[in-house]
Structure 1
Amino acid sequence: MALLELRGVGRTVSRVDDRPLVILNGVDLVVDVGDRLSIVGRSGSGKSTLLNLLGLLDSPTEGEIFFDDAPTRQFSARQRDVTRGRDVGFIFQQFNLLQGRTALENVMTPLLYDTGSAFWRRRSIATAMLERVGLGHRLASTPDRLSGGEQQRVAIARALVRGPRLILADEPTGALDIETGESVMALLDEIATASSAALVTITHDPAIAALATRRFRLERGVLVPWAEVLL
């Protein structure tokens, strides 16, 4: 069943005193429930723009994006915010943790926007999530006292604490050494599998891309299947 679908999606940006810049062109993509996708592309190929569209942070200038078969073009700003906050989890290369806040406080942050019981249970929910990623002993540690791998695990816990159905990982191992990166990807896949979440990984690393069941290459704004990933 399709969770997210892009049909003929394009993204063009106007430029002063120059021709419009075409970032994405005619992108077709279906992300099913529980899917594992990787998208590889060089710097400037449009990966970040595509990620923003997949995460409902931006809208296409051409084509349509469907979430649960509903056209997102018809979503109000509030609908987009609610859908993104409830159903999408973002994991970034640079972790983007709140400095000066503990690991527990960082993971609790998304739950502050919850209007249900999760708001009142945020401390116990965040604690359980940190324990799940192997950081139950680091609840009171601030980012400056955590290793790169531990910071990424906090970032994963924060992204997944609300149980998103779609996980978008943008170069999640780019700031890590090879061994730690493999460990982080294994953890991410394990948690995504347990919750039946779809995982889309954007990377420049063929070894990371090869972990997905479906692989794509983004080149000059065009998305194509990539059957062969060189290791």
Structure 2
Amino acid sequence: MAFVELEGVTRSVDLPDGGRLDILKGIDLKVEIGDHVSIVGRSGSGKSTLLNLLGLIDTPTSGRLEFDGTPLDKLSSGERDRTRGRDVGFIFQQFNLLPGRTALENVMTPLLYAPGEQFWKRQTRASEMLDRVGLGARLKSTPDQLSGGEQQRVAIARALVRGPRLILADEPTGALDVETGESVMRLLDSAAEASGAALITITHDPNVAAVARRHYRLDGGVLHQVAAAQVHGLAASGATL
């Protein structure tokens, strides 16, 4: 059974003029624990909307979405929030670190709402996670004292510290140079693999997509699977999907 499964999922919004905008159209997707899936799409293709559905932030207009075997429409808003906090880790392009807080404090933040041992051992867990991403010596550094690549590593540590089973990376290297971005993607892929989490990377960059093991393209709200050879070829040529 897939950990996350979408079947015939649509998402539409009503427009002020009485019309309707169809953002996602019949999305079918299955993601297993341990998968690394990339979804490539241009601006306006529906990537952010799909991310919100996968991360349990939003609900489909129609179709079926199951998370760990439970249909999304069977969860109350509070149950969705608790499931998201426990099982989903988000990594964003702009890092979203708290200014003036140290790397350690930033990574500890998700654990402030965790139950039991995770809360009481939050400093130890955050320190260990920062060490795993190569920042064991930068625990007391604030974001303005870190490079872009280091800030993204802090963001990765923060996303992983609660041991999520699904990691959603939204343009995770968009604010980084190419070399740093490639290093961050290798780190993210290996960290997700080590923890056994499913990783979904949403991007417009074939170089980022190429790190994944399954590849999709979102075009006009429709999701298509893409051959790995095509993605690697575009990454090598500098073209786009």
Could you tell me which residue of structure 1 aligns to residue 45 of structure 2? 45
Using the TM superposition, give the Cα deviation of residue 154 of structure 1 relative to its aligned residue in structure 2, in angstroms: 0.3
- Would you say 1:116 and 2:134 are equivalent positions? no
Could you tell me which residue of structure 2 aligns to residue 102 of structure 1? 102
- Would you say 1:179 and 2:175 are equivalent positions? no
The residue correspondences of 1:47-196 to structure 2 (distance < 5 A) are 47-196=47-196
Query: What secondary structure is seen at the aligned counterpart in 1 of 2:10?
Result: strand
Report the identity percentage.
Answer: 70
In the TM superposition, structure 1's runs of 4+ consecutive aligned residues that sit over 4 Å from their partners are none
Amino acid corresponding to residue 105 of structure 1 in structure 2: E
Amino acid corresponding to residue 106 of structure 1 in structure 2: N
Counterpart-to-counterpart distance in 1, 2:216 and 2:18: 31
Query: What secondary structure is seen at the aligned counterpart in 1 of 2:3?
Result: strand
Query: What secondary structure is seen at the aligned counterpart in 1 of 2:169?
Result: strand
Contact 2:39 2:216 in 1 (8 A): yes
Query: What secondary structure is seen at the aligned counterpart in 2 of 1:22?
Result: strand
Could you tell me which residue of structure 2 aligns to residue 27 of structure 1? 27
The residue correspondences of 1:199-210 to structure 2 (distance < 5 A) are 199-210=199-210
Contact 2:103 2:139 in 1 (8 A): yes
Using the TM superposition, give the Cα deviation of residue 18 of structure 1 relative to its aligned residue in structure 2, in angstroms: 4.6
Query: What secondary structure is seen at the aligned counterpart in 2 of 1:159?
Result: helix
Superposed CA RMSD? 0.8
Query: What secondary structure is seen at the aligned counterpart in 2 of 1:100?
Result: coil
Using the TM superposition, give the Cα deviation of residue 183 of structure 1 relative to its aligned residue in structure 2, in angstroms: 0.7
Deviations 1:164-215 (A, max 9, x none): 0000000000100111111101111111111111110001111111111110
Query: What secondary structure is seen at the aligned counterpart in 2 of 1:225?
Result: strand
Amino acid corresponding to residue 87 of structure 2 in structure 1: D
Could you tell me which residue of structure 2 aligns to residue 2 of structure 1? 2
Counterpart-to-counterpart distance in 1, 2:144 and 2:73: 41
Amino acid corresponding to residue 73 of structure 2 in structure 1: R
Counterpart-to-counterpart distance in 1, 2:143 and 2:56: 28
Amino acid corresponding to residue 69 of structure 1 in structure 2: G
Counterpart-to-counterpart distance in 2, 1:83 and 1:171: 23
Query: What secondary structure is seen at the aligned counterpart in 2 of 1:137?
Result: coil
Unaligned runs of at least 5 residues, structure 1? none
Amino acid corresponding to residue 85 of structure 2 in structure 1: G
Counterpart-to-counterpart distance in 1, 2:197 and 2:70: 19
Aligned length: 231
Query: What secondary structure is seen at the aligned counterpart in 2 of 1:57?
Result: coil
Query: What secondary structure is seen at the aligned counterpart in 2 of 1:99?
Result: coil
Counterpart-to-counterpart distance in 1, 2:78 and 2:15: 29
Contact 2:189 2:211 in 1 (8 A): no
